[in-house]
Structure formats: structure tokens, C-alpha cells
A and B are shown apart, each in its own frame.
Chain A
Amino acid sequence: MPEPVVVAENLTRLFGDFVAVDHVSFRINAGEVVGYLGPNGSGKTTTIRMLLGLLEPSDGRATVLGYDAFLQTEEVRARAGYMSQKFAIYDDLTVWENLSFYGGVYGVTERARIEATLARVALGGHEKTLTRSLSVGWRQRLALAIALVHQPKLLFLDEPTSGVDPSARRVFWDLIYDLAGEGVTIFVTTHYMDEAEYCERVGIMREGKLLAMDTPANLKAQTLPGPVWDVFAAPLQAGLETLSVTDGVLHTGLAGNHLRIITRPKMTVRRLRAALTAAGVEVAAVERGEPTLEDVFLSLAKGD
């Protein structure tokens, strides 16, 4: 059995009447990249804040790196790195000054360590650049460097790719993989369904509840009630309305320029085509689709 680095048991947090995190239990093993997927307000950040001892759980408990997350906060924070959604980077300081400032907070003062950390996030050579002139993607990498400067074995990343363009998002994920390759355990939240596919295991949060946590492949195999299909038809709206009342179609939605549907196992192309044609919808193509985590989220959400 691999050693668990994070253990959450019935972790719960109330704000007044509002249940932000509702009896969440999971384990993260050493060296894993675990994603925490959910919309804004689903309890992702509150979970991280409890794991870091920043918020007291209303119920349940968590151990992080073997320490009680709330009672032994100092030990946890000395060994874990945290990149928050809204990170304070000083705009009027250079890249180097920002990193050495935060390094100092953790007691890291060696030049070589700071240089190595900048190199690791591909910011080497930009030491003297003023932080305010960095693009969003580069700022995120500086924020990552700050979370890494004390060489943590466990890293909490809270929506690290929010607001950056697709290219910079991928560069950031490459860095996450490099770190995982060096043995760092990573817990990363995102609201991008496609990003969650990069994780070894994914937890799906909705309204404070952890609906499922598993590998992307297992989530798809276990939660989807049947095949998914891409339907190219015109007009789109009429196609959507028709399929949403077609027997055997469990979920209909838009995906890019076409329709995406989930059906019962025995659905056929012919039946789908027939239903659309009968309603006067012109069908260009009906193809079996590859299941995605968005399909998983949509079918899990359907249960309520």
C-alpha cells in the first residue's frame, strides 16, 4: 500500500447555515497528481483552506504529511506549498525580489536555491523583469515558484490556470508534470473539465459534496449510463429539442458547433437519425464520441 500524504475524513465546514464542504473523505498517495474539479462555489477552495489549517473544520478531520491539519498547522505549512487563486505578487518588485522576499518568509535565503527555483519554472534570465510587465501566464509561473521555493513535497494549487490562455495553460501543466516526475505530490483545483483529464485521479465536487473520486477512465466507465454521440444537424435548436424528448436519450447538450448526447446502451445511429429526420431536422452526421469528464459531470449532476 502506498503511503497516504493527505487523509480527509468527513471534512465539513459550515458558514452560518451554508454547508460549504459536506462530509468529504478522500486520500492522496505520495507522488500522485490529484485534480479537484468543480464550479465556483462548490467547496474546492474551502477544502484546501482546511487542509492547510487556515480554517477550522466544523466536523471531521484531516491529516497532511502525517500531521493534524488544524492542530499542527506549523508543521504542515513548513512542508507543503500553496499557490492560491488570488496571490499577492508585488507588481513594483522584480521577479527576483518577489521570490527572495517570499523565500525569506520560509527562511530560504541562499542565492542558488532561488536561482534554481526560477529555472525550474522557466523564468531563468528574467530576474530583473518588473513583475507588472509579465503576462498572466508568466505571473502564474512566478506564483508557482513562490510556492516551490522551500522545496515542499506536497503542493496545493488552487485554480492555477484561471484566466490564462490555452497555450499558457499547457505550459503550466507541463511544469506540474515535471514536478510530479520529481516525486512532488500535487493537489490541483480547476473548473476546466479538459484539464482534469491530465490528472491521475479526479475528485468531482458539486455543492460541497465530493460526488466521486477516481481515475478519469474509471469515472467514465462507471458513471456514464451508455454511449455518448456527436450529432451534426441543422437547425441546432430544433435538433436539441427533438433529441431531448427522444426515447432512450438521457442527456442532450450543445458542444461546439454540434450536439452532444448521452443515450441508453442500445441506441443506434439509425434510430437517432430517424427521430431527427421525422422532426424535419437535417442530419449531416451522427458519430460515436469519446467520453469526456464533462459528460461525467453532466450525468452525475443529473441525479438531483
Chain B
Amino acid sequence: MDTNWPIRVSDLHKSFGAIHAVDGISLRVAAGEIFGLVGSDGAGKTTTLRLLVGALWPDAGEIAIAGYDMSRQAEQARAHLGYLSQRFSLYEDLTVLENIRFFAEVRGLSTGEWLPRSMEILDFVGLAEFKDRRAGQLSGGMKQKLGLATALVHRPRILLLDEPTTGVDPVTRQDFWQLIIRLLNPDAEDGVAVVISTPYMDEAARCNRIGFMRAGRFLLEGPPSALCATLEGRILELRGQPLRLLRRIAGQDEDVEDARAFGDRLHLRVREKRMKAVLRRLPRRIRAGGGSLDDLRQVPPTLEDVFIDLSEDVL
């Protein structure tokens, strides 16, 4: 088994009729690493994950999971995979433990093995004391954790997670990510390799590497810090009143490429090497235009700045 790259994917293609859902994706993920897939609905994130699980057959390209070729050794490859799909369903009339047992048996754990392993995993996700509760009676966050537990029951080396935190409350999102980070365990031999899709930029920033997808391709791929570095020295944060007026004035500046609201402030993307010029004249223009300025300063670029730069609103 290729321990360096539990996930190796090269030039993956998948079309549905005329739509190229996945159009040339390549990626490698090491043990102890999280790779994040970011993009709109329809960008190809779910299709990519379904190809990696072997639920869909690619039109072209290669997938190696734990060193096994998905096209010829799917069985062996899947033995190393844990997958949590977006529309994951539990058996609501079974208890927490019965649900885990079901997935453990599907995964071929023997009678002797499943109970200790199930208790270990329930303990890990913090559901041990709820083992006899029916899944239908769990809160949303608990269901999410049970879903993760079922995906982990056979100790997979590779974990594929399709928007596991979309629409869940921040408390659960926190808990969920803390579990993922503990699974990564990059210093130990049993570190897991994770691919996760997410609509949240703060979660994307937590990944070792991310790929921003549109129309089945990566428009940009790399570690969050490297992606942010591409806009270093080009983002200004502006605060003042009224925001709409400030935005219009800033947007008219010849060296401001983009002015967007970030909560109660604006982020301005400035042309390369024009930062000083903008810092000098914008306060004057705002005052002349009847606005009031509370603060204008250079800030480190965020992933959101990077994606906005890249994904100008397109058809």
C-alpha cells in the first residue's frame, strides 16, 4: 500500500449527458492531511467525492485509494474508505448502538469485534451515554456525530465527507471539526487522510490544502496561506458611514478593482503597488463626498478575498 498518498487521483472526468460534472481533477492527499473542496452547488464537489468512493464510474482518469486501483480493486479500496454523504440517513427507529452495529456488520466486523469497537467509537464522538436512545430522538448535532461514527466503525484510513456541517449550528460545527482534527493525528502512524467539501470559508481555512471548484475544475488549488499570499498587500479594510456611499466612492477610485461589504465594513481590492496612493487619497475623497471615515487600513487577505478575486459573478 502506498502509505505516502492514501488518495491519488489523476485527470478525472465524468459527464452526465452534455454536462461535464468533473472535468480534469487531479489531487493527492497524505495521511494526516485534510483537503477541502470549495465551490457553489453544481461545481462538481459531490460528483468528485462519489467518484472517489466508487459510487460512480469515471469516464476517464485514475483513482488509487490506499494504493488500490478503484477500477480493478474496488473491494480492497473501499475497505479503507469511510464516507459520509450529504443526504445520509440513519435508521430512526433503531437505537444509536443498533445503528452502529448495522454498519459494523455491513463492514464485516465479527460478533466479537463489533461491540468493543462500537463503544470505542461512540465514546470518541461523545455519544456513549446515548447508546440506547432511538436515532429519531437525537438532536441534529447528535445525528451528525452518529453519522460520523458509522463512517468510522471499520477504522478507515481515508475519510470522505460531503458537506457534513452545512446548515448545522456553530456549536456542532465546532465539535465536529475537533473530532476530525483528532482523527488526523499527523504524528502517529494511524493518521487519517480526509477530503471534505464545505461552503464555509472558516472551515476551508482549516484545511491543509483546498481546491476551489467551478464547472468541474479546480480554478485554484493549494494551502490556504499560499492562496492568501497571492493578494498580500492588496486588501484594504474601510469602516465608516454610510456604507453604501463609501462603497460607491471607493468603487470609483481608479486603483480599486473591487469594493465589497464584509459585515459592517468594506474590503477593497487594490491594484498591485497602488496601496499607498489609495491610502493617501481615499480619505480625502470620502470627506469631499460627504461620508465619514472611521478607519482605513491594510489587512491580511482572507480566503474570501481570494475567491472573490477569482470567481467574478459568471453565468
Q: Please list the residues of chain A having a beta carbon within 8 angstroms of any beta carbon in chain B.
A: 38-42, 126, 129, 133-138, 162-168, 170-171, 173-174, 177, 181, 191-194, 197-198, 206, 216-217, 236-237, 240, 253-257, 292, 294, 297-298, 301
Contacts and interface: CB of A to CB of B under 8 A. Distances in A.
A194 B315 CA distance: 25
Nearest to A193: B170
Contacts of A173: 261
B219 to A, nearest CB: 10
Interface stretch (B47-55, B104-112, B116-124, B173-181): B173-181
A124 to B, nearest CB: 13
Range, interface on chain B: 35 or more
A161 to B, nearest CB: 9
Contacts of A41: 140
A292 B170 CA distance: 12
Contacts of B140: 39-41
B220 interface: no
Residue in B214, B263, B308 with the greatest tally of chain A CB atoms within 10 Å:
B263
Contact of A133 (B38, B166, B315): B315
A89 to B, nearest CB: 14
B172 A39 contact: yes
A153 to B, nearest CB: 20
A197 B40 CA distance: 21
B312 A257 contact: no
B307 interface: yes
Contact of A298 (B168, B170, B315): B170
8 contacts: A41-B140, A42-B169, A164-B40, A174-B261, A197-B264, A253-B174, A254-B178, A301-B169
Interface in B122-175: 140, 166-172, 174
Looking at A126, A170, A174, the one whose CB has the most chain B CB atoms below 10 A away is A170
Given A39-B168, A162-B167, A167-B307, A256 B263 contact: no
Contacts of A292: 263
A167 B171 CA distance: 26
A168 B140 CA distance: 28
B28 interface: no
B313 A171 contact: yes
Contact of B167 (A40, A137, A298): A40
A279 to B, nearest CB: 17
Nearest to B205: A256
Contact of B181 (A40, A170, A237): A237
Contacts of B167: 39-40, 162, 191
Interface in B245-267: 260-264
B307 A165 contact: yes
B177 A165 contact: no
A181 B315 contact: no
Nearest to B41: A163
B43 A216 contact: no
A167 B168 contact: no
B244 A136 contact: no
Contacts of B214: 165
A106 B192 CA distance: 55
B260 A135 contact: no
A288 B283 CA distance: 26
Nearest to A240: B178
A170 B261 contact: yes
The 7 A-B pairs of least Cβ separation, nearest first, read: A197-B263, A256-B205, A163-B41, A39-B169, A40-B167, A165-B40, A167-B311
A2 to B, nearest CB: 18
A256 B263 CA distance: 18
A130 to B, nearest CB: 11
A202 B172 CA distance: 21
Contacts of B244: 177, 181
Contacts of B225: 257
B40 A256 contact: no
Nearest to A39: B169
B169 A38 contact: yes
A173 B166 CA distance: 20
Contacts of B260: 170
B201 to A, nearest CB: 6
Nearest to A205: B169
B304 interface: yes
A91 to B, nearest CB: 12
Contacts of A170: 260-261, 308
Nearest to B314: A135
Nearest to B202: A256
Nearest to A173: B261
A301 B141 CA distance: 13
B42 to A, nearest CB: 6
Contacts of A138: 313, 315
Contact of B308 (A133, A166, A253): A166
Interface string B284-314: 0000000000000000000010011011111
B39 interface: yes
Contacts of A38: 169
Given A206-B169, A254-B174, A256-B206, A166 B261 contact: no
A240 B244 CA distance: 40
Given A216-B264, A256-B202, 5 more contacts: A39-B140, A135-B315, A166-B307, A206-B169, A256-B224
Chain A CB within 10 Å, residue with most, of B40, B140, B260, B311: B40
A256 B302 CA distance: 10
B31 to A, nearest CB: 16
A166 B311 contact: yes
Nearest to A133: B315
A162 B41 CA distance: 9
A179 B41 CA distance: 26
